[in-house]
Amino acid sequence: CSRLAHTQSLQKTLNTTEVQLYLLVLHPAMKYKTTRGGITGVSFQEALLSGYALDGGLFVPETVPHFTLEEIRSWAAMSYPQLVEMFLRQFVSHEELTSQEIAGMMDGLYARFDHPDIIPVKKVGPVHVAEMWHGPTGAFKDLALTIVGRLVDHFLKKRKQTATALVATSGDTGSAAIHSVLGSKNVNIFVLYPRGRISRVQELQMTTVDAPNVTVYSIDGTSDDGDIPVKKLFADAEFVKKHNLVCLNSVNVGRVLIQAAHFAYSYLRVCPSVDREVLFCIPTGGMGNITGGYIAYMMGLPVRFLAGVNENDVVHRAFATGVLALSEMIQTHATAMDIQMPYNSERVFYFMSGGNSEVVKTVMEQFEKTSRCTLPADILGNNKCISTMRVTSDDTLSTMEYAWKQHGYLLCPHTAIGMRVALNYLGIQLSGKSESETAPKDDKDRIHDVVVVATATAAKFPETVERVGSIPLPSVPAIAELYSKPEKKLFMEKGEDWEAILRQAIAAGSQ
């Protein structure tokens, strides 16, 4: 019988949510593999409690379930927590995680979020805005990391183990990762952030945390520089095993899987009838959020994506020219997107290639050796849903000003990039020269339901808000309190062996 037939036969005794959860228990065990094909048949918890795989790739589900439009329509009555629970069951077998265990994790999970809808979707002028920043650190990273932290803690307790989480952040992931394991007796976390390249609030959200399981490093370099020693440690199989290294940024497969639920929930707020496509305009740095969206697309959600990037435009150049190539890092107002190595691009390339690990392995190893590679038709030739656009820093500021003056809506600089590409797509031109390779040629090709993904609250970026000049600074008590708290941080300077520093600190913390 089909899932739909099961659903119809159970409708008399179970409500919609119970039906969905019952059916998901019937799914066979989900296994995971790496994008480069060197590791297969891995359980969810093994993939979750890891980082970069030993073959250099990233973990992905071996299969992605697909749903009909009628099945997706039945999700419209679900709350966000119910939808997350349903998505989680898609990718974790009942043998690994029972329904009772999931329910226990979900209990009170979003108590620290400041909006009852978790992700409110608001109409702002010609677009919808999905506010994904109502969690404890004011960024969309809270949505997935809140549950990922509980999953990690749960599996470690069952194994009677401890682990070391290692995170290099470009701004928002660090604080969200810290809060996801704050006070855990099973996880020690080490975070590296780029000194002088993030907002003061982003920094304080990490450095004012006083907890025995948290260590924060201020590094003299970019976020990509911080990724280098982290990836080297994950490539050391003996060290990984000895200290149970895990990763809590979007390298972690659990995070990108949960992020798929953001898009389903936001889509259903805009189009509960599930009878047309919706375009999501996503501020894009490391491509973790758009990877979650792509998984939702593979599951059957009628969506397309427009990735907005800043001057660090490696993603835009890759999709526009077919060449993935590093260039010099540029510091912008959208600090969390100041990334030259969008590591989740590897997952997107894998999915676009139809799961061709050999192609992905060849491309990514070439890129790692030379910082440049050409994307073959096996990848980009199969792209049916992602387009890209580049937005300058000046246009970021002017879009923040436009949103406030025209609609009384306060954008963070990252969300402003999403808004700018949405307006450009809809043919609404502001002053400036945002570059588009993807605007539809005529109105019949245009999607009219456009959702801007709001990735962070503007309160985290007072320096940028002040630069606009005509926008009032938002007042958030929890953020204001950060300035009076003592800081606790260590330093890594250029010329020092950052890998050795981390090895020594992790070894000491594991004792």
DSSP state for residue 205 in the 8-state scheme: H
* 467, pLDDT greater than 80: yes
**For the chain, percent helix, then strand, then coil, each to nearest 5?**
45, 15, 40
Across the chain, what does the average pLDDT equal? 90
Supply the pLDDT for residue 431. 63
Q: What is the mean pLDDT of residues 154-177?
A: 93
288, 316, 310: which is closest to 413 by C-alpha?
310
**234 is written with which tokens?**
């994950």
Q: What is the mean pLDDT of residues 18-31?
A: 57
Q: Is the model more confident about 387 or about 223? A: 387
- Is 460 buried (19+), middle (13-18) or exposed (0-12) by CB count in 10 A? buried
Going by pLDDT thresholds of 50, 70 and 90, the confidence category of residue 18 is low
Over its C-alpha atoms, the chain yields an Rg (Å, rounded) of 22
* 11, pLDDT greater than 50: no
**296 is written with which tokens?**
């939702």
Q: What is the mean pLDDT of residues 442-453?
A: 78
Q: What whole-number distance in Å separates Cα of residue 318 and Cα of residue 382? A: 14
- The residue assigned the tokens 């798929």 is 260
Supply the pLDDT for residue 470. 75
Torsion of CA 285, 288, 289, 290, to 10 degrees: 80
* 205, pLDDT greater than 80: yes
Q: Is the model more confident about 408 or about 26? A: 408
**Sheet with 163-168, edge to edge strand ranges:** 245-246, 163-168, 187-194, 214-219, 490-492
Supply the pLDDT for residue 509. 77
Q: What whole-number distance in Å separates Cα of residue 34 and Cα of residue 478? A: 40
Q: What whole-number distance in Å separates Cα of residue 350 and Cα of residue 327? A: 23
Supply the pLDDT for residue 214. 96
Q: Residues for the chain: how many in total?
A: 511
Contacting residues for 337 by C-beta, under 8 A, at least 6 apart: 170, 283, 284, 285, 309, 310, 312, 414, 417
Q: Is the model more confident about 16 or about 166? A: 166
Supply the pLDDT for residue 245. 94
Going by pLDDT thresholds of 50, 70 and 90, the confidence category of residue 12 is very low
Lowest mean pLDDT among 36-45, 155-164, 431-440: 431-440
Q: What is the mean pLDDT of residues 383-398?
A: 96
Supply the pLDDT for residue 361. 97
Supply the pLDDT for residue 6. 43
* 141, pLDDT greater than 90: yes
Q: What is the mean pLDDT of residues 326-340?
A: 91
Q: What is the mean pLDDT of residues 283-302?
A: 97
301, 302, 306, 274: which is closest to 289 by C-alpha?
306
Q: What is the mean pLDDT of residues 247-255?
A: 92
Q: Is the model more confident about 11 or about 354? A: 354
Supply the pLDDT for residue 80. 97
Supply the pLDDT for residue 459. 94
Supply the pLDDT for residue 363. 96
Supply the pLDDT for residue 444. 52
pLDDT digits 0-9 by tens, 206-217: 999 999 999 999
Provide, rounded to the nearest whole percent, the portion of the chain with pLDDT above 90: 81
* 54, pLDDT greater than 80: yes
Supply the pLDDT for residue 51. 82
Q: What whole-number distance in Å separates Cα of residue 224 and Cα of residue 342? A: 9
Residue at 184: amino acid letter: S
Cα–Cα–Cα angle for 171, 173, 174, nearest 5°?
80
Lowest mean pLDDT among 13-22, 159-168, 224-233, 473-482: 13-22
- The residue assigned the tokens 């100041």 is 338
pTM of the model: 0.91
pLDDT digits 0-9 by tens, 394-406: 999 999 999 999 9
